[in-house]
Amino acid sequence: MTQTVGFAVVGAGLVGPRHAEFAARAEGGSLRAVCDLCEDRGRPLAERFGAEWVPDYREVVRREDVDVVDVCLPTALHLEVAAAAAEAGKHVVVEKPIELNVDRARELVDVCRRHGVWLMPIFNRRFVFGTRRTHDAVHNGDLGKLLLADMRFKSWRPASYYSESGWRGTWDKEGGAALINQGIHGVDLITWIAGPIKRVQGYARRLRHHHIEADDTTIAVYEYQSGAVGVIECTTSVQPRQPDVLELHGERGSIALQNYRIVRWDVDGVEPGEPSSEERALPGADKGVDAGHFFQIQDMVYAVRDRRPPVITGEDALHSLAVVQAIYESERTGGPVDVQVR
């Protein structure tokens, strides 16, 4: 199939411009509309890529030139907009976290399934060379039996990041703070690579941003279904931001990534290889994150054109969200919590 896949980005805030750019740049893709209540934010972004500014998402989902609705809104609004898109027969991209909790996320997954449309949650770090290569090494058995798998995501956000949004750091609009927003990337990666987590012991604190409801510093110890163990550290309280670190240790070797680039590969008889020239040429490829965003948006274009599911589906987002919920529940109860995807 050779038809152009039309995108509409709903939400022109912090991450919306990146989605708009990559929808416009993707092979076979086209940005048709940018939807935002604020004209001074939505119209310039739309005009930058030859698209139309639309203030109401209900108008967007009725457009015949839109095949994919890309939701870049506050977490608590994902289900409402995604459901309207699915009911109109549009495929859906949703920024992480997919929703506030597993129950709402499951409802989102189900409505897309009922209407026969694809749902793709954004977990762009899976598409970066270093994480893909590490995933393949673990799943090919190159490390042997996995013993430890850790993720450190020590990030920084100023107080204004929370105070100016009106929703970040709240339980009812974001479902938490540092862990569910920033840290869920790490939870998704570590479970995608090392396998499902079955039990957690978590500690969530407000150590710096005392004006928010939820966590700015969270640590959890967990046990995988395989028997391996690990730790995740997630903050928005550490200044300056530290490199994101991923470390895996098995009976046959160890791998370490820093900002999603392989910095240590101690695996006997197996070479790490190198990223493609296409990936190295993308803006922000040195950080890894933007390259992954582009490849994931590109995958949605191919999924629609080829009539096959995207590489990451809505179902794939449920386990990481269940882990996040279990860590928060562990903080509330003071004890270990089993991870359950209802």
The mean pLDDT of 86-114, rounded to a whole number, is 98
Based on the fold, state whether residues 178 and 325 are members of the same structural domain: yes
Can you give the CATH number for the domain in which 239 is found? 3.30.360.10
Residues in the chain, how many? 342
* Per-residue pLDDT tens over the stretch 209-237: 999 999 999 999 999 999 999 999 999 99
* pLDDT of 288 above 70: no
* pLDDT of 329 above 70: yes
* Per-residue pLDDT tens over the stretch 24-43: 999 999 999 999 999 999 99
Based on the fold, state whether residues 104 and 17 are members of the same structural domain: yes
Q: How many domains does the chain have?
A: 2
Tell me which of 102-106, 156-160, 262-266, 275-279 is least confident. 275-279
Based on the fold, state whether residues 66 and 110 are members of the same structural domain: yes
Q: Considering the domain boundaries, does residue 276 fall inside one?
A: no
Cα-based angle 27, 28, 31 (whole degrees, multiple of 5) = 95
pLDDT of residue 341: 79
Reading the block at residue 29, the tokens are 């893709």
| pLDDT confidence band for 134 (50 / 70 / 90) | very high
Based on the fold, state whether residues 87 and 130 are members of the same structural domain: no
Reading the block at residue 134, the tokens are 């590490």
Question: Phi, psi (5° rounding) for residue 20?
Answer: -60, -45
Based on the fold, state whether residues 107 and 142 are members of the same structural domain: no
Q: Considering the domain boundaries, does residue 188 fall inside one?
A: yes
Q: Can you give the pTM of this predicted structure?
A: 0.95
Q: Considering the domain boundaries, does residue 272 fall inside one?
A: no
Q: Considering the domain boundaries, does residue 29 fall inside one?
A: yes
pLDDT of residue 283: 55
Based on the fold, state whether residues 245 and 334 are members of the same structural domain: yes
> Domain range for residue 166?
126-265+319-338
The mean pLDDT of 164-168, rounded to a whole number, is 94
Q: Considering the domain boundaries, does residue 118 fall inside one?
A: yes
**Biggest alpha carbon–alpha carbon distance for the chain:** 57
Based on the fold, state whether residues 221 and 157 are members of the same structural domain: yes
Are 121 and 147 contacting, i.e. CB atoms less than 8 angstroms apart? no
